[in-house]
Amino acid sequence: MRWMLLLFMSLSLPVLADLDYVLKPRQIAEDTWLLEGSTDNFAKANGGNIVNTAFIVTDRGVVVIDTGPSRRYGEAMRKAIAATTDKPVIEVLLTHHHPDHVLGNQAFSDVPIGALAGTTELLHRQGDAMAENMYRLVGDWMRGTEVLLPTRTLEPGVLNFGNHDLRLLSLGGHTGADLAILDQRTGVLFAGDLVFYQRALTTPNSPGLSVWLADIATLQGLPWTLIVPGHGPVATDTKPFEQMRDYLTWLDQLMRDGAANGSDMSEMIRSPIPERFAGISLSRYELIRSVSHLYPRYERAQMTRVDSTANK
């Protein structure tokens, strides 16, 4: 029996050894480093590394923005930070509760992990189920990963880290509890998943597309110089906001028209995607998901109570 166990271990160890995120921080502004993920979907080939995380090296120490999709990612991120600076990590700021942004928390259990109150509540309620789903999607990359809740509640306002003042904004279009962070020294705006760029947006927890559109207007009105989306390439112009506004407006109108015309969900998921969105990663996949998440609300808005009509 022992020889069988040893054989299994010898076969599995090389596979596990290949599970390396190979994170390479890229400096995008003064003291500011980005770890850019792909715009693909979750897969065993990428270990769930489809997210943008970042860190800022301040006078007081390193501030981390989001911790990635797994404990292994968080540990790799910590090593990448140590290879970049000898300053200690002093704080983690989480933009929202989705698994690709928070399941690396275990690697930062020795420092405060800050999040909006709503983010902590959502992670408490949904975290275990999301982690289980990640295990199914990316397999061994998730080994040892467990949900670690934030330890500090963040409020809108300014956090001072010596030479970097970070303005925190509490928004909600993506999940109902979305933190955006503006570095007032560099003008870098960490938009989290309020902004997707060249990658179709996800809607599982969105309170409504009108809320999201209002958030885009708020973000665009800030004195930013560079936008870091939750997914997709960074930008120094307004194109991410324009693409988000265009896509959200189209998606909202598509479902309004569908509900008004009595279209069912199967018809809606086959809707033509405008040519201007054809080059956006996962556009058809995310349209299907968005219809399943949001379309019932549009259908309910078209319904009239029979008893209300009869009593008039």
Q: What is the pLDDT of residue 303?
A: 83
Q: Which residues contact 273 (CB under 8 A, 6 or more apart)?
A: 283, 284, 287
Q: What is the pLDDT of residue 18?
A: 80
Q: What is the pLDDT of residue 12?
A: 42
The torsion angle over the Cα atoms of residues 259, 264, 267 and 269, rounded to 10 degrees, is 80
For residue 44, the Cα-to-chain-centroid distance in whole angstroms is 19
Enter the tokens of residue 213.
């559109």
Write out 54-112 in H/E/C secondary structure. EEEECCCCEEEECCECCHHHHHHHHHHHHHHCCCCEEEEECCCCCHHHHCCHHHHCCCC
With vertex at residue 41, the alpha carbon angle to CA 138 and CA 25, rounded to the nearest 5 degrees, is 85
Enter the tokens of residue 157.
């306002």
> pLDDT tens-digit profile of 207-257?
999 999 999 999 999 999 999 999 999 999 999 999 999 999 999 999 999
d(CA 156, CA 302): 36
- Least reliable range by pLDDT among 65-79, 163-177, 226-240, 292-306: 292-306
Q: Are 135 and 142 in contact (CB under 8 A)?
A: yes
Q: Are 224 and 187 in contact (CB under 8 A)?
A: yes
Q: Are 165 and 185 in contact (CB under 8 A)?
A: yes
d(CA 14, CA 152): 39
- Indicate if the pLDDT at residue 11 is higher than 80: no
> pLDDT tens-digit profile of 284-294?
999 999 999 99
Enter the tokens of residue 22.
């190979």
> pLDDT tens-digit profile of 75-103?
999 999 999 999 999 999 999 999 999 99
DSSP state of 43: -
High-pLDDT (> 70) share of the chain, %: 92
How many Cα atoms occupy the beta-carbon half-sphere of 228 within 13 Å?
A: 30
- Indicate if the pLDDT at residue 184 is higher than 90: yes
Q: What is the mean pLDDT of the chain?
A: 93
Helices in 182-260 by DSSP H: which ranges? 209-220, 239-260
> pLDDT tens-digit profile of 111-166?
999 999 999 999 999 999 999 999 999 999 999 999 999 999 999 999 999 999 99
Strands laid side by side in the 53-57 sheet = 26-29, 32-35, 53-57, 62-65, 89-93, 113-116, 152-154
Helices in 191-238 by DSSP H: which ranges? 209-220
Q: Which amino acid is at 86?
A: D
Please identify, in words, the CATH class of the domain defined by 19-238.
alpha beta
Q: Which of 42, 207, 70, 86 is nearest to 141 (CA)?
A: 70
